[in-house]
Amino acid sequence: MVGIVILNYNNWKDTEECVRSILEKELRTDYQIYLVDNASPAQPSEEQKKFLREAGAVQIRSEENRGYSAGNNLGIRRALDDGCSAVLISNPDVRYEENSISVMEEYLNSHPDVGIVGPKIILGNGQLQRECMMFKTGILEKYLLRTRFHIFFPGYNRRYWGREHDYESETFPVYAVMGCCFMMSRDCALDVTPLDERPFLYEEELILGIHMERAGWKTVYCPKSVIHHLHGTSTEQVQAFAYTCNVCSEIYYCRRYLGMKKWQILPLYWYRTGLYRLKGLRNKEFREKRKLYRESTRRELQRRN
């Protein structure tokens, strides 16, 4: 049985549609849906409550919103405790095509050395997402490829994102897949979870890739499984907050997983801060939340672990 973990935060309509797509499209495998509500202020409508009950979703409510990894860990732990043979992590704004879940499960079952498999992702604008990371994101990649300086290194950037591969039809090994939707085998999940809960939002894929490498598991992109990702509906309403989380998580990743010293991180931080100020010229919310950005990121810079 596949445990399907859907993490919801104020996205009840998306969550309902995600569950509906699973019920309608997944015909080949046994599954159990685990709906984790990350302390959403908004409550589902009575119709949505009824639908989720009838769908048989196990509902888990977190008492506080501690972010992506902490919320997903609640669902992963429950799925493993229930004996699930694989765990699927899904954003609520994902829609599934026919048997896309069973395709991932079948791939894991037939490749015991593979711990994670990720699907082909069609974005809300209809474009194919070509963004699997092919190798670890180190100091060099942070400065040259995860900033706008990537335009000066087109070949390096192409290799990093695996763009020499055919994302449309080629199955190939990667370092990390996108975090909106991926499936882990049970044995892999037991090795690499719980997910690191320090980052509230972002950098999760980079961190998981490192844990996969350390544990000796392979990660594979499998385009025979197809999903649609409406993309970012849970963070569009809090752009400045999401940006702040991104910078804090990046500082943590650089310090904790790359062993970077503060002086090595500072130029990257100054670059991110410059972009924040530019966004503030056009967006009132960024100006209003400048103090939150400054205090949160500086506090993260001062941490030692």
Positive/negative CA dihedral, 258, 186, 122, 241: negative
Domains annotated on the chain, with CATH: 2-132+167-229 (3.90.550.10), 236-302 (no CATH)
Of 111-115, 293-297, 301-305, give the lowest mean pLDDT range.
Answer: 301-305
pLDDT tens digits, 254-294: 999 999 999 999 999 999 999 999 999 999 999 999 999 99
pLDDT, average across residues 110-121: 98
Q: pLDDT tens, 189-244?
A: 999 999 999 999 999 999 999 999 999 999 999 999 999 999 754 455 559 999 99
Residue recorded with tokens 């993260």: 300
Q: Provide CB contacts within 8 A for 251, sequence distance 6+.
A: 265, 269, 297, 300, 301
Cis status, amide bond into 267, omega within 30 of 0 = no
DSSP 201-270: SS-HHHHHHHHHHHHT-EEEEEEEEEEEE---TTTGGGHHHHHHHHHHHHHHHHHHTT---HHHHHHHHH
Look over the chain and give the mean of its residue pLDDT values, rounded to a whole number. Answer: 96
What's 176's DSSP letter?
B
How much is the pLDDT for 305?
76
* Predicted structure pTM score: 0.95
C-alpha to C-alpha distance for 18 and 37, rounded to whole angstroms? 14
In the prediction, which pLDDT does 237 show? 52
pLDDT of 304: 82
Q: How many residues does the chain have?
A: 305
Model confidence pLDDT, tens digit, residues 84-99 = 999 999 999 999 999 9
pLDDT digits (tens, 9 = 90+) for 229-250: 997 544 555 599 999 999 999 9
Q: What is the rounded CA–CA span in Å between residue 35 and residue 55?
A: 11
The percent of residues above 70 in pLDDT, for the chain, comes to: 98
User: Taking a C-beta distance cutoff of 8 angstroms, is the pair 191, 116 a contact?
Assistant: no
Instruction: Please tell me the least confidently modeled range out of 114-118, 148-152, 180-184, 230-234.
Output: 230-234
CA dist., res. 199 & res. 67, Å (int): 7
